[in-house]
Amino acid sequence: MKYKDKRLHVLDQRLLPHRVEWLCCSDATCVAKVIRDMAVRGAPAIGVAAAYGYLLAAHAAIAQGDDLTVTTLEPAYRELAAARPTAVNLVWALDCMAACLRTVESLEGDERLRRLSAEAQMIESRDVEANLAMSQLGAGLIDSDSERGWVLTHCNTGALATAGQGTALGVVRDAWAAGRLRGVFVDETRPWLQGSRLTAWELQQESIPYRLICDSAAASVLATGQVSWVIVGADRVAANGDVANKIGTYALAVLARHHGVKFMVVAPRSTIDRDCAHGGAIEIEERPASEVSEIAGRPVAPEGVVVYNPAFDVTPAGLIDALVTEVGVVRRPDRAGVARLFE
């Protein structure tokens, strides 16, 4: 995504990998829509987009002659926050923007705008830095063992899902560069196909060897003993270390434990929700039935089919071997380990 001249340009991820097209938003309503419709997706990326959406609302308020305050921007805050409910980075970024505005409300309007613009840029650049730090820390956990030189990943957690090189996929990149990997098994990630459409596309461009698999092939792949780690991102980490991530992640964690494969979650601290006591308290987004009953707009189920389409699931902390953040790794995360990340 690129912010320039009061416009947010986002690469339309719904069209990848076959078409590379950009959408352009000039107001917060448009940004909320591209987040809701998943033209831009991935927890850190939607946080950064929301910050720029808030900035666009601030520009609109000034242009209309309104006083630029947190109260004036409350409708934009609410519209952006409601775009997707599970990824906490969205509300985290909006709270950073609102907190910034609150501290500069005594300054004149243009100065408030400049501070908000700097805040949005900082949210973006901190994500880039966090990605680099997490990638190195995570890659350091992977042994160069040629017998078990493969990892397995789910969904898309790369450059498309963040402002930088990615979370779980950033670890893959650094591990590959360090000669610690033979390759990556990529779950296709039904129903939205983030794995086949986006992760495979990113890995191809990086010339990192991969094998695209159906989600249902993961068990037999792990049973072969070639995989050392399952590596995933997160949309929200609860205070006790439970992790909400793309639907299918929980199943992978159970499979990994059964097969003696280690399970790594890679997420910046902006994905940790310390106000959320445990995974059961995380709101799980339900997406439209058509995502399951159709593939690329073609029906693959009987007309009138009744669908249940949760976009995320919760992996209990007890199934996680390492939580990797930009400030450090928590082995076997629990409430105390998560709290230490904020000391």
127 included as an active-site residue: no
What's the distance, CA 255 to chain centroid? 22
Shortest distance, CB of residue 7 to ligand MRU, whole angstroms? 23
Nearer to ligand MRU, 148 or 246 (CB): 246
CA distance 252 to 199: 17
Cα–Cα distance for residue pair 72/55, rounded to 1 Å: 12
* Contacts of 138 by beta carbon, 8 Å cutoff, 6+ apart: 168, 170, 171, 174, 175, 231, 264, 266, 322, 324, 329
How far is the C-alpha of 98 from the C-alpha of 77, rounded, in Å?
8
**What Å distances lie between residue 13 and 89, 183, 329, CA to CA?**
19, 24, 30
CB of 88 to ligand MRU, least distance (A): 10
Strand pairing report for 210-213 and 183-187: parallel
Q: Rule CB under 6 A: which residues touch ligand MRU? A: 41-44, 87, 155, 157, 161-162, 167, 194, 233-235, 245-246, 311
Rounded Cα distance between 33 and 35, Å, is: 5
CA distance 105 to 200: 46
Cβ proximity to ligand MRU: between 119 and 235 the closer is 235
In angstroms, rounded to a whole number, what is the distance separating the alpha carbons of residues 16 and 186? 16
Give least dist CB 91 to ligand MRU, A: 14
Nearest to 3 by CA among 54, 37, 42: 54
Residue whose CB is less far from ligand MRU, 117 or 131? 131
Q: How many CB atoms lie within 10 A of CB 175?
A: 26
Q: Tell me whether residue 167 or residue 293 sits nearer to ligand MRU (CB atom).
A: 167
Rounded to whole angstroms, how far apart are CA atoms 71 and 166?
A: 34
Alpha-carbon distance 27 to 39, whole Å?
A: 16
Q: Which of 245, 293 has the CB closer to ligand MRU?
A: 245
Min separation Cβ 235 and ligand MRU, Å: 5
- Which is catalytic among the residues 235, 242, 313, 321? 235
For residues 116 and 77, is the Cβ–Cβ distance under 8 A? no
Question: Based on CB atoms, which residue is closest to ligand MRU, 149 or 166?
Answer: 166
Residues 294, 296, 299: CA angle, nearest 5 degrees: 30
Report which residue's Cβ sits closest to ligand MRU: 233
Catalytic sites, residue numbers: 235
